[in-house]
Amino acid sequence: MLLSCAKPQTMPNEAISCIHKYMLDFDICKCCIIRLTNGRCQQIDLLNVFHSQAYPDEFICKLCFGLLHNPYLCDIPRNLNESQNEMEFTNEEFDKYVLLYLYKELNGSRYQYTAYQLRVTEPINIILREQFLWDELICMSIDHVNNTSNSSTIEKLNNPQITFTKDDINALRSYAIPVKTAWKWIVDEKLSSLLKAPLIYSLRNDTELKLIKTNELIVNNSNYDQESNIICITVEFANFFIQSDYNEFLSYLERSPLNAIRSWLVRSKSIKIPRKRSRFHYEKELNMNPSEKELFKDEKVIEELTTKTLSSQTFNSNVNSSICNPYSVINIGYTLPKSFHFSRGLLTELIPLLKDVCLQSNYLRKISSSNCSPAFITSLEIVRSVPLYLAGRYVKLSRRLSQSPWIIGSQRKLDSSVEELITQPILPRFGANAQSCFITSGREDVDVRCLGLGRPFAIELSNYELLPSQIIQRWSVNNNLDVECNEDEPLDLLKLASFINSTTQGRVFIRDLQLVSSKSATAALKLGEMHKAKCYRAVCWCPQGGINTELLMKMLQYTTLLNRTNENIDHVNTIHWPPNKINSIKYGKIYFGPLDIHQLTPIRVLHRRPLLNRKRTIYHLCFMSYVETIGANIFEFDDFKSWSKLYPEDELFILEIRCEAGTYVKELVHGDLGRCNPSLASIFGRQLDILALDVIGVELDWPTRLKDPILN
């Protein structure tokens, strides 16, 4: 596809020709010249220049280090036709050409994809050398030569052909095309032919997303991200001149009289840039005898030899040359010496300050006659462009199970968690490199069950190998992808849910498992975390005789009785403990509400939560007699029966609460030493405690309800 750039200000053809001539004197390739001087350049224009240029093998552009002209960096050995495949290239070619190397690594990764993205990090000193180029061109401009007092008449007379100004140079640099963009334009056709998939430049471009080949069912379904079919190839390039270019750049900046640049220099020398640990295994790569291996176990020796080899820019055929081959464009694992600290972020801040500065570096002119080695690839990472989201609801049936792994220090407190029970069976089925992030609409404590329809959750899967269409075919009960379906119909994964349920030993049960879009998952879970109501049921203990009518009357000072059946009846007369039974219900209930409370962060979570005063609304409180409720022999209360063996039955009561999300229910009951105001303990003037708590409802209508999973 063709991509265009913004148009720079119009310049005379004579000025452009003059600038081209000076750039050629600096040993700059034609592709670099057109990307720097033609802001209207399109992909087809750059490709025409690329195919027209012919350089000897030893020529390397001083700006792009061969990225835009060297066949080993941006081309393949020969043209492809549809019948050609991997077997027609030799192993030597796979190790010599960057594009063939990318193709081999991607094919070996087992990722399934229908399109790909390409993210490129070019050598950082390309930016430095471009700055040197603009500086030298500004020094040659008409207004600079005429306004410089120490410029000799001979210099002016020797440059009668100069027709460009400093403003012309600044206009060009403002619209110059980056090397990484030009490189992607050049390799697009070749790499897409190898991978048999289109290159997607932007995930925000709907036209490009239509290039993704996938099943019609998936494309038209709003519960699915089309971008999930895309693989992302991240490539990082470097070269051996970064350190020397940086040193020259610092000395160049030190000549500046501007305080802003001097301030930048001070910051750049004081900030320590964190470095990634190298993935390069020296002992594995180096062909050494045992005595040499013992020597290289010392990290200081490795660092010294590596730094010496790379900084000198002279490459001897000794053991050190095996660390990084100067004649190869593939040096995976190469890292800069530890003494080198350089931040792209700092450099981005600096470049605008240099727009109108002319410091007469002459650096490119100095190195124009010296040899230049090509850039090489140092890092390759293959990942999914966007994560895949699975959503469902989980029912937690155990009171000894945390939601996430409970580890303090290095000691594990419980053998498993809800997150692990759900995600561990899933990950191996999505690929060896698949990773997950478990997201829920709120959380419950270790000793709290989650019943009813369960708590909504989402699993963010990254680096999954299968295409979503393959996932549907394998794990959906409606896996016939040939039939047309409604675009809003959920993409169920009920077979996978059944498999997970068979591995949890009855501690967790999941339902409504399905594919969802990232937008749906993040919006729904965030909404449910703080803006939806939740329902709880608890067994509470009230010592010194338990609940009575007198205590319930005190609730009227704070709230209203909700279960009045006749407005003319005095509500005071309807309060009675134990509650009166209504119709066929085997136990009575008394409802109060609503009630506004203020809760300071509870002491039990203060070590991990900020100290805040939270206002929460209790929509209703329902009091039930423990004796009558347990005596009704209803299965949902069976878990509460054991408490009668530890506490007198007449001191126990059952409490149901419907409250705003984010309410600390335990503290609502016992008061948390006065940090919850009011609390049931403060209202009754009695010590209260909560013995067992269940979440019985999360009022969030997401994800879509499905039929029950297939039971094995």
pLDDT in tens, 5-31: 444 456 667 778 888 888 888 889 999
By C-alpha distance, which of 467, 383, 465 is closest to 214? 467
Q: Is the pLDDT of residue 106 over 60?
A: yes
| Residue type for position 353 | L
What single DSSP character describes residue 452?
E
Q: How many helices (H) and strands (E) does the chain have?
A: 28, 17
Kind plus residue range of the DSSP H or E element containing 460 = strand 448-462
CB atoms within 10 A of CB 86: 11
pLDDT at 277: 41
More confident residue, 235 or 85: 235
Tell me what pLDDT residue 300 has: 43
Provide the pLDDT for residue 709. Answer: 63
State residue 156's pLDDT score.
42
pLDDT at 233: 96
Q: Give the residue-averaged pLDDT of 88-92.
A: 81
SS3 state at 285: helix
- Find the mean pLDDT for residues 318-325: 44
Decide: 107 and 99 in contact? Cβ < 8 Å: no
Q: What is the radius of gyration, based on Cα positions, of the chain?
A: 35
Task: Tell me what pLDDT residue 405 has.
Answer: 94
In the predicted structure, residue 529 carries a pLDDT above the cut 60: yes
Instruction: Report the pLDDT value the prediction gives residue 67, as an integer from 0 to 100.
Output: 95
Could you tell me the pLDDT band of residue 484, with boundaries at 50, 70 and 90? very low
Q: Give yes or no for residue 211 having a pLDDT over 50.
A: yes
For residue 291, the tally of other CB atoms under 10 A from its CB is: 7
Q: How far is CA 628 from the centre of its chain?
A: 53
pLDDT score of 346 = 78
Looking at per-residue pLDDT, the higher value among 178 and 370 belongs to 178
Q: What's the token pair of residue 407?
A: 């580890």
- pLDDT score recorded for residue 5: 43
> Residue 224 — pLDDT band, cuts 50, 70, 90?
confident
**Which of the residues 445, 639, 650, 689 is marked catalytic?**
445
3-state secondary structure of 272: coil
Average pLDDT over residues 363-377: 83
* Interval 594-601 mean pLDDT: 95
Asked whether the CA dihedral 679, 683, 689, 691 is positive or negative, the reply is: negative
- Strand arrangement of the beta sheet that strand 230-238 belongs to: 115-121, 230-238, 376-384
Cis peptide before 425 (omega within 30 of 0): no
Share the mean pLDDT of the chain. 81
Find out whether 64 and 241 touch, Cβ atoms under 8 Å: no
Is the pLDDT at 415 greater than 80? The verdict is yes
Q: Is pLDDT at 393 greater than 60 in this prediction?
A: yes
pLDDT at 339: 53
Separation between Cα atoms, residue 578 and residue 551, nearest integer Å: 12
Residue type, 625: S
C-beta separation of 142 from 163 below 8 A = yes
**Given this model, what pLDDT does residue 574 score?**
73
Judged against a pLDDT cut of 70, whether residue 82 lies above it is answered with: no
Which pLDDT score, from 0 to 100, does residue 532 have? 84
pLDDT at 564 over 50: no
Between CA 179 and CA 191 the distance in angstroms is 17
Would the pLDDT of 285 be above 60? Answer: no
503-517 average pLDDT score: 94
Residue type, 187: V
| pTM tops 0.85 | no
Task: Report how far residue 436's alpha carbon sits from residue 426's, in angstroms, rounded to the nearest whole number.
Answer: 9
Query: What's residue 479's pLDDT?
Result: 62
What pLDDT, on a 0 to 100 scale, did the predictor assign at position 309? 36
Residue 341: pLDDT band by 50, 70, 90 thresholds? low
- Span 406-434, mean pLDDT? 93
Comparing 77-86, 236-245, 407-416, 611-620, the range with the smallest average pLDDT is: 77-86
Chain length of the chain: 712
Q: Can 492 be counted among the known catalytic residues?
A: no
If pLDDT is split at 50, 70 and 90, which confidence band does 506 have?
very high
Interatomic CA distance for residues 367 and 63, integer angstroms: 11
- Has residue 85 got a pLDDT over 70? no
β-pairing, 448-462 with 689-698?
parallel
Per-residue pLDDT, 261:
84
Q: What is the Cα–Cα distance from 156 to 283, expressed in whole angstroms?
A: 60
Strands (E), 463-594: 491-492, 508-516, 533-541, 590-592
Residue 146: pLDDT band (50, 70, 90) is: low
Q: What percent of the chain has pLDDT over 90?
A: 45
Would you say residue 217 has pLDDT above 70?
Answer: no
Whether residue 465 contacts residue 112, with contact meaning beta carbons closer than 8 Å, is answered with: yes
Asked if 690 contacts 544 with a C-beta cutoff of 8 angstroms, the reply is: no
Q: What pLDDT band is residue 338 in, cutting at 50, 70 and 90?
A: low
Q: What whole-number percentage of the chain has pLDDT above 70?
A: 78
- CA 677 to each of CA 552, 561, 592, 667, 680: distance values in angstroms, whole numbers, following the listed order: 18, 20, 17, 10, 9
User: Where does the pLDDT of residue 202 fall: very low under 50, low under 70, confident under 90, or very high at 90 and above?
Assistant: confident
Q: Quick check: 459 and 404 in contact, CB under 8 A?
A: no
Q: DSSP code of 556?
A: G
